[in-house]
Structure 1
Amino acid sequence: MLFFLYGVLILNGLIGAFLYIMMHKKRKIFSDRYGMIMAMCASGVLSFALGMVIEFLNKNNFTVITILVLVISGTLGITFGALVKFQSLLSGFFQGTVGGVMGTMFGAVMKNPSLCNLPSESLYTVEQSMVIFSLFSTVLVIVTASLLLYSFRV
């Protein structure tokens, strides 16, 4: 299970790095509006996926992991937002931190459904849900990256 989650984490990180490299090469053709939308989409989805998988990998200390995810996702948002102008940097930072917090909270609820007064499930069902939602978030990252890269051609 850990090997799978580390693989998903690395895959999402590589997709994010590839997307940033492709965006950085073509940053001169961005308008302000496109830059803001691109920063919000990329940082929000990547931060959500990374926050969720990092929370799945966490065993004990929830506070430290939440702060770590906030720093990573805020940096991710600033990185994508800095491709254009200051307003896209702000929106990228905001969307990145919100996506990171959402991913962390979603991962915590998946691991312990009783946090939201949901019925507790067996360990097998929790691990199965972790695999399903990790794969879903990876597919969501791939689709978002594909749509952002496709928008260059249109």
Structure 2
Amino acid sequence: MLIFLLTMLLINSLIGIWLFTGMFKKRKVFDDRFGMIMAACSGGIISFSISLQLAFLLPLSFSYISLINVIIGGSIGILFGSLVKFQSLLSGYFQGFIGAIMGTMLSAVTQDPSLCNLPIYYEESILHNMYYFSVFGTTLTMLTAYLIKYSMKV
């Protein structure tokens, strides 16, 4: 389980780095509106996936995990928002912040379904759900990265 989650975290991080470098090389080509949309989408989705993986990996309390994920998500959003203009830094921060909160909340409900008054069946079903949501987050990151790279070609 640990190796799988670390692999998913590494894949999501590498996709984020690859997407950022591709957008950084072509930042002069696209206009501000298109750049803000790309920065918001990529920052939000990548921070969602990375915070989901980190919350599954780190055995800390919920408040510490939330704080760590918000800092990481906000910095990812600022990083992607810095590609366009100064005004998009705040927008990128909020997109990264919201993505990190969503990933943290999804992982908290996956690990303890009783938070939303869902029935807890077995420990194995919780582990299976962690696998499924990890693969879902990575697939979502890959799909978003592909669509953003494709939109830069067109």
Same fold (TM over 0.5): yes
Asked whether the equivalents of residues 55 and 104 of structure 1 are also in contact (C-alpha less than 8 Å), the reply is yes
| Structure 1 counterpart of 2:10 | 10
**Residue in structure 1 matched with residue 91 of structure 2 by the alignment:** 91
Question: Which position in structure 2 is the counterpart of 1:76?
Answer: 76
The whole-number CA distance in structure 2 between the counterparts of 1:108 and 1:98 is 15
Whether 2:140 is the aligned partner of 1:129: answer no
1:10-38, CA deviations, whole angstroms, 9 ceiling, x for partnerless residues? 11000000000110011111211011101
Show the counterpart of 2:50: 50
Q: Which amino acid aligns with 1:101?
A: I
Query: Which 4+ runs in 1 deviate beyond 6 A?
Result: none
2:39 aligned residue = 39
One-letter amino acid matched to 1:91: S
- 8 Å CA contact 1:113–1:121 kept in 2: the answer is no
Partner of 1:100: 100
SS in 1 for 2:153: coil
Shift of 1:119: 0.6
Q: Deviations over 1:99-134 (max 9, x none)?
A: 000100110000000011111121100000110110
* CA displacement at 1:152 relative to structure 2: 1.1
TM-score of the superposed pair, with normalisation by structure 2? 0.97
> How far is the alpha carbon of 1:79 from its aligned partner?
0.3
State the TM-score, normalizing by the size of structure 1: 0.97
CA separation in 2, counterparts of 1:115 and 1:7? 28
**1:118 is aligned with what amino acid?**
L
Alignment match, 2:153:
153
> How many positions carry a matched residue from both structures?
154
Aligned equivalents of 2:121, 2:54: Cα separation in 1: 21
Alpha carbon RMSD of aligned pairs, Å?
0.8
Code of the aligned partner of 2:110: M
- What is the CA distance between 1:39 and its match in structure 2? 1.0
Mapped partners of 2:132, 2:66: distance in 1:
22
Match of 2:67 in 1: 67
Unaligned runs of 5+ residues in structure 2 are none
User: Which residue in 1 is equivalent to 2:117?
Assistant: 117
Q: Provide the C-alpha distance between the structure 1 equivalents of 2:53 and 2:115, rounded to a whole number of angstroms.
A: 18
Shift of 1:58: 2.4
* SS across alignment from 1:29: coil
Task: Report the Cα offset of residue 88 of structure 1.
Answer: 1.8
